[in-house]
């Protein structure tokens, strides 16, 4: 999911900025101790540091803004009376298990996009599908979950993001047919198992929201 990639890049950006800051302090101390004038090398390092400090947060912001057109779909089914969710695994994203996600294409409605994503990634045609309004604060609140936190300078921006969520019931008995370019594995599992295998806290929270919604509003 692009959401996960962006946050991983943000952490890398912060590490780079910390290294550059420590380098600047180191060179500044050398200059003070030795009483030397700024060398060309030091000046270049300072200019590079300033440029990176300015551009990295901007790059992060641009990347997050692309999430406005993201669509997430939680597929579920009833095995007898048990509620199960389809989890997929993406090797490109640290082997993370998650729901279906994709980008809204030009000219598509949100519903058309959600149905296309389902069919492209699993081959399923949902028996029922409709949007679910997941509170935006789930993406920013701190709770007992671990990981998947935005750096401080992006907290306000995250509150402005809008990810379009859908839930879809699958009645087809056959296994999903995975898109070779997308998921690498799949499994139908109950909420407890799905919650456990998800790596990112934000996805744990959205799954928990969907689960509670379906418990209160069964869609059999």
Residue-wise pLDDT tens for the chain (220 aa)? 445 555 566 667 667 767 777 777 776 676 666 555 556 666 676 677 667 666 666 655 555 555 567 899 999 999 888 999 999 987 665 567 889 988 888 899 999 999 999 999 999 999 999 999 987 666 666 554 555 555 555 555 556 667 889 999 999 999 999 887 777 899 999 999 999 998 877 888 899 999 999 999 988 8
Query: Quick one: pLDDT at residue 1?
Result: 44
**Angle at which helices 40-65 and 2-34 cross, to 10°:** 160
**Which of 65, 88, 107 lies at the terminal end of a domain, its last residue?**
65
With residue 101 as reference, give the H or E element that holds it: strand 100-103
Which residues, in sequence order, are CB contacts of 135 under 8 Å at separation 6+? Answer: 209
CATH no. for residue 167?
3.90.79.10
Q: Which residues, listed in sequence order, are joined to residue 70 by a DSSP beta bridge?
A: 103
125/193 same-domain check: yes
CB-based contact 4:93 (threshold 8 Å): yes
Q: Which domain holds residue 56?
A: 2-65
């Amino acid at each position: 999911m692009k959401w996960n990639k962006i946050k991983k890049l943000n952490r890398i950006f912060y590490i780079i900025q910390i290294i550059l800051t420590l380098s600047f302090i180191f060179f500044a101390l050398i200059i003070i101790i030795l009483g030397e004038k700024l060398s060309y090398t030091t000046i270049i390092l300072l200019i590079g540091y300033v440029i990176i400090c300015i551009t990295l947060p901007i790059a992060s912001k641009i990347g997050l803004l692309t999430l406005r057109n993201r669509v997430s779909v939680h597929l579920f089914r009833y095995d007898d009376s048990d509620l199960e969710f389809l989890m997929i695994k993406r090797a490109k994203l640290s082997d993370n298990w998650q729901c279906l996600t994709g980008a809204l294409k030009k000219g598509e409605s949100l519903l058309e996009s959600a149905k296309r994503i389902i069919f492209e990634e699993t081959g399923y045609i949902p028996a029922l599908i409709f949007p679910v309004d997941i509170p935006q604060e789930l993406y920013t609140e701190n709770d007992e979950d671990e990981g998947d936190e935005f750096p401080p300078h992006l907290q306000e921006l995250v509150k402005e993001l809008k990810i379009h969520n859908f839930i879809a019931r699958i009645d087809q008995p056959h296994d999903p047919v995975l898109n070779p370019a997308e998921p690498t594995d799949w499994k139908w599992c109950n909420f407890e198992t799905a919650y456990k295998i998800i790596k990112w806290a934000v996805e744990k929270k959205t799954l928990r929201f969907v689960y509670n919604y379906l418990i209160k509003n069964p869609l059999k």
